[in-house]
Structure 1
Amino acid sequence: MNDIPTSILFGILIALLGFSAFFSGSETALMTLNRYRLQHLVKQGHRSAKKAQRLLKRPDRLLGLILLGNNFVNILASSLATILGMRLMGDEGIAIAAGALTLVVLIFSEVAPKTLAALKPEVLAFPAAWIYSPLLKIFYPIVWFVNLIANGLLRIFGVKANEHNTATLNKDELKSIVAETDSIMPEKYKNILLGIIDLESATVEDIMTPRNEITGIDIESSLEDIIQQLKSSQHTRIPVYKVSIDRVIGFLHLRTILIQLFDNDNFSKQDITDNLIPPFFIPETTPLHKQIQNFKFDQARIGLVVDEYGDVQGLVSMDDLLQGIVGEITTEEADVKKYEDGSYIVDGSVTVRELNRITHWNLPTKGPKTINGLIIEFMETIPQPNTSLILHGHPLEIISSDKRAITRIKFLPPKAEK
Structure 2
Amino acid sequence: MNDDFPLGLLFGLLLLLICLSAFFSSSETGMMSLNRYRLSHRANSGESRAQRVTRLLSRPDRLIGVILIGNNFVNNLAASIATIIAIHFFGDVTGPAVATTLLTITILIFSEVTPKTYAAVKPERIAYPASLVLEPMLKLLYPLVWLVNAISNGLLRLLGVKSIEGDGDNLTRDELRTVVHEAGPLVPSRHQAMLVSILDLENVTVNDIMVPRHEVSGIDLDDDLDDILTQIRTSQHTRMPIFKGDINNIIGMLHLRNAARFLSRSEVTKAAIVQEAREPYFIPESTPLHTQLLNFQKQKRRIGIVVDEYGDVEGLVTLEDILEEIVGEFTTDVASQNQDIHPQEDGSHVIDGTANIRDINKSLGWQLPTDGPKTLNGLILEHLESFPDGPVCLEIRPVRMEILEVRDNLITAARCWQAVRRTTTSS
CA distance in 2, matches of 1:17, 1:411: 64
Determine helix, strand or coil for the equivalent of 1:351.
Answer: helix
Correspondence for 1:341:
none
Correspondence for 2:26:
25
CA distance in 2, matches of 1:184, 1:282: 39
Of the three residues 349, 360, 371, the one matched with 2:356 is 349
Correspondence for 2:146:
144
CA distance in 2, matches of 1:314, 1:301: 14
CA distance in 2, matches of 1:257, 1:308: 33
Q: Is the 8 A contact 1:230 1:258 kept in 2?
A: no
Correspondence for 1:393:
none
2:78 maps to a residue whose letter is A
2:372 equivalent to 1:368: yes
Per the TM alignment, residue 145 of structure 1 is displaced from its structure 2 partner at its CA by 2.0
Q: Is the 8 A contact 2:402 2:414 kept in 1?
A: yes
- Give the number of the structure whose alpha-carbon radius of gyration is greater: 2
Q: Is the 8 A contact 1:239 1:248 kept in 2?
A: yes
Correspondence for 1:187:
189
CA distance in 2, matches of 1:209, 1:52: 53
Determine helix, strand or coil for the equivalent of 2:186.
Answer: coil
1:61 maps to a residue whose letter is R
Residue correspondence of structure 1 range 2-401 to structure 2 within 5 A:
7-89=8-90, 91=93, 94-95=96-97, 97-160=99-162, 163=165, 165=167, 167-199=169-201, 202-220=204-222, 229-230=231-232, 232-242=234-244, 244-257=246-259, 275-292=276-293, 294-295=295-296, 298-328=299-329, 330-334=330-334, 349=356, 351=358, 367-368=371-372, 387=395, 389=397, 396-398=398-400
CA distance in 1, matches of 2:367, 2:18: 48
The alignment's C-alpha RMSD in Å is 4.4
Determine helix, strand or coil for the equivalent of 1:309.
Answer: coil
* 1:240–1:371 Cα change, 3 Å: closer
* 1:22-42 per-position Cα deviation (integer Å, ceiling 9, x unaligned): 111110111122222222222
2:173 maps to a residue whose letter is K
Correspondence for 2:341:
none
Q: Is the 8 A contact 2:209 2:317 kept in 1?
A: yes
Q: Is the 8 A contact 1:58 1:164 kept in 2?
A: yes
1:334 maps to a residue whose letter is V
Larger mean Cα displacement after TM superposition, 99-108 or 27-36: 99-108
CA distance in 1, matches of 2:293, 2:302: 9
Correspondence for 2:346:
none
Number of residue equivalences: 395
CA distance in 1, matches of 2:373, 2:35: 37
Stretches of structure 2 lacking an aligned partner (at least 5 in a row): 337-348, 405-410
1:368 maps to a residue whose letter is G
CA distance in 2, matches of 1:17, 1:259: 88
CA distance in 2, matches of 1:28, 1:83: 31
* 1:138-176 per-position Cα deviation (integer Å, ceiling 9, x unaligned): 222222222222122122223245656363233333333
Determine helix, strand or coil for the equivalent of 1:387.
Answer: strand
* 1:416–1:49 Cα change, 3 Å: farther
Q: Is the 8 A contact 1:400 1:409 kept in 2?
A: no
Q: Is the 8 A contact 2:262 2:273 kept in 1?
A: no
* 1:333–1:53 Cα change, 3 Å: same
Stretches of structure 1 lacking an aligned partner (at least 5 in a row): 337-344, 390-395
* 1:409–1:110 Cα change, 3 Å: farther
CA distance in 2, matches of 1:7, 1:377: 90
* 1:400–1:46 Cα change, 3 Å: farther
* 1:153–1:211 Cα change, 3 Å: same
* 1:353-398 per-position Cα deviation (integer Å, ceiling 9, x unaligned): x96xx99x99998x43859699769956699768363xxxxxx334
CA distance in 2, matches of 1:151, 1:7: 42
Larger mean Cα displacement after TM superposition, 13-22 or 98-107: 98-107
TM-score by length of 2: 0.73
CA distance in 2, matches of 1:85, 1:379: 81
* 1:36–1:282 Cα change, 3 Å: same
Q: Is the 8 A contact 2:400 2:416 kept in 1?
A: yes
CA distance in 2, matches of 1:292, 1:130: 48
Determine helix, strand or coil for the equivalent of 2:247.
Answer: strand
CA distance in 1, matches of 2:402, 2:225: 38
Identical columns (%)? 45
2:248 maps to a residue whose letter is D
Per the TM alignment, residue 130 of structure 1 is displaced from its structure 2 partner at its CA by 0.6
Correspondence for 2:343:
none
Q: Is the 8 A contact 1:372 1:405 kept in 2?
A: no
CA distance in 1, matches of 2:117, 2:357: 45
CA distance in 1, matches of 2:319, 2:94: 84
1:11 maps to a residue whose letter is G
